[in-house]
Amino acid sequence: MTVGIIGLGLMGGSFAIAIKKLSMIKSIIGFDQNKKHEKEALSLNLVDKIVSFSDIKNADIIILAIPVDGIIACLKNLQDVSKTTTIIDLGSTKEKIVSSIPPSLRLNVVASHPMTGTEKFGPSAAFDDLYKEKVVVLCDLESSGDHQQEIAVRMFSGIHMKLVYMKAHEHDLHVAFISHMPHLISYSLANAVLQHEEHENILNLAAGGFRSMSRLAKSSPNMWGDIFRQNKTHLLDSLSYFEKELALMKKMVQDEKWDDLDNKMKDANSLHDILK
């Protein structure tokens, strides 16, 4: 089969590297609106050939590895593909994307979210094992065609991903807590330090803790702005939970309730026992 990848950055480029090992894949063609990314992806051998958007419609499988607003716009321009074409989107939000799929294209589309990524972007950020042993969420899969379901499952299983199935609404609620909220907090933390009048002296002391918490603030603002916009309701709900916890611990510090604060921190310690 021929795979066409739209978007040749970290996600699309790494996906290309991963699927090259699959026997079901004959060739990989690519398209990106950023012509510099196209040249770079070709020079890095992420794809076999760069083609136009109209030519990529002829691929057996089309991967949408672009920002979530772009996915919605792109789907509207793919309505003339073959009934056997499989379109897989890799977007970080799902409910708005699923609801925006043109009815004539619904059987073609598999809505997925690979739970992986880094703060880096662009073709040079792509690497071999980005997807290996990571979770991929397949949303509302029963609404996709039987052939498209089979292709998606074969492909994600073939690159050693762990498949999880859920509704788009449920997905967006959950990822607001474990992905979208942490990114917004990281951006806020970075700005809180940068806006301090002594920020240069403060940053001279930056060590592991600050670097770890602010790492996500290096992520693409364009991509994450779209994500925050599409998942606004669930993001705001998750931030309310966070604000409540932060206010509670702030009050413990103000009132010097050190034992209560110690217990709260011990409660937080249990998270990583669960995540093991």
Please report, for the domain that includes residue 73, its CATH number. 3.40.50.720
Q: Which domain-ending residue is among 166, 187, 218?
A: 166
Q: Which domain-ending residue is among 132, 166, 200?
A: 166
Q: Which domain-ending residue is among 135, 166, 197?
A: 166
Residue-wise pLDDT for 220-273, tens only, equals 888 899 999 999 999 999 999 999 999 999 999 999 999 999 999 999 988 877
Q: Specify the pLDDT at position 271.
A: 85
The token duo for 128 is 């071999």
Kindly state whether residues 13 and 147 are assigned to the same domain: yes
Specify the higher pLDDT residue, 102 or 198.
Answer: 102
Kindly state whether residues 67 and 125 are assigned to the same domain: yes
The token duo for 46 is 């992420």
Structural domain total, the chain: 2
**pLDDT at 9 exceeding the cut of 80:** yes
Kindly state whether residues 226 and 157 are assigned to the same domain: no
Residue-wise pLDDT for 10-60, tens only, equals 999 999 999 998 999 999 999 999 999 999 999 999 999 999 999 999 999
Q: How many CA atoms lie within 13 A of 188 on its CB side?
A: 8
- Say if CB 108 and CB 142 are below 8 A apart: no
Kindly state whether residues 156 and 56 are assigned to the same domain: yes
Kindly state whether residues 112 and 187 are assigned to the same domain: no
The residue written with tokens 């002594």 in the block is 198
Structural domain for 207, as ranges: 171-275
Q: How far apart are CA 256 and CA 234, in angstroms?
A: 33
| Mean pLDDT of all residues in 117-127 | 87
Kindly state whether residues 119 and 229 are assigned to the same domain: no
